[in-house]
Amino acid sequence: MITAHGLGKSFGETTVLSDVDFSAAEGEWWGIIGPNGSGKSTLLHLLSGIEKPTAGSVRLLGREVGSYSRKEIARMMAVLQQEGLAPSGFTVREVLEMGRYPFQNWLGREHEDPSERIEAILNRLDLTLLADKRIDELSGGQRQRAALGKVMAQEPALLLLDEPTTYLDIRYQQRFMDLVAGWRKESGITVISVLHDLNLAAQYCDRLLILHNGTAAGRGLPEEVLTEDNIRHIFQIDPAIVRHPVNGAPQVLITAGDARGSLKED
């Protein structure tokens, strides 16, 4: 589906990503994890084509990601940022309709009426009663669901999520991730998500890539990546790793007062 080889990115004299290899196959869910400043969001920006690499390449379905037109790439890939949607005067329904941009002609019209598809998404995300409300009238969790509805309306084959649960409480974090998981199961979409919460990453992702100081420090199954040695070395804490009692996913436990070193970010 998407492959990066020898990927690097520098801003002036500062190198933020160096020699990263990465590949996600169709239908996989990858989590990108690592400390603040490790290059997670930069990697996602390079995969999406928002940023151009200073070294290496990104290929989507065999072609350089930068060779696609805006509309071509929008038919294959959707990106959801951590804030989802900024407050605006658009209604929820109008926002979802914006997701149909890749299928519209220069007059903004589609060959087929998308209203039935839009209604199905509103219903699936429990947004039907909010369809005519403005985005600036919604809570953070509601806005994030509307943002998810927009990318669902886009019908991509690849979904990139940049810390999508950062501003959500624990209930809405789980609900959002469950909605993505259900969509993936139904459609076979490939998902690549930057996540701060290691336990969420272990619960939902098939595989993890861990970045440290701009380089790939490990990749593989959650139980292969989320080890005590890795967490201790990369995050500078002394963790305990336990198995989730329901699904066996590794879960990272911390102890108050065990953080090592200063608060200076990497």
Q: Where are the beta strands (DSSP E) in the chain?
A: 2-11, 14-24, 29-33, 55-60, 63-64, 77-80, 158-162, 190-194, 207-212, 215-220, 240-243, 250-253
CA dihedral 216, 221, 226, 229 (to 10 degrees): -70
What does the pLDDT average to over 207-214? 96
What pTM was computed for the model?
0.90
Amino acid at 13: E
Cα dist from 82 to 20, 79, 168, 193, 262, whole Å: 23, 10, 10, 10, 27
Cα dist from 35 to 8, 18, 231, 235, 254, whole Å: 18, 16, 10, 6, 15
Mean pLDDT (the chain) is 90
Task: Give tens-digit pLDDT for 52-85.
Answer: 999 999 999 989 998 888 888 988 999 998 766 7
**What is the pLDDT, as a whole number, of residue 266?**
40
Residue (of 79, 57, 51) closest to 2 by Cα position: 57
Instruction: Count the residues in the chain.
Output: 266
Task: Give tens-digit pLDDT for 145-189.
Answer: 999 999 999 999 999 999 988 888 898 899 999 999 999 999 999
3-state secondary structure of 250: strand
Residue with tokens 């839009």: 118
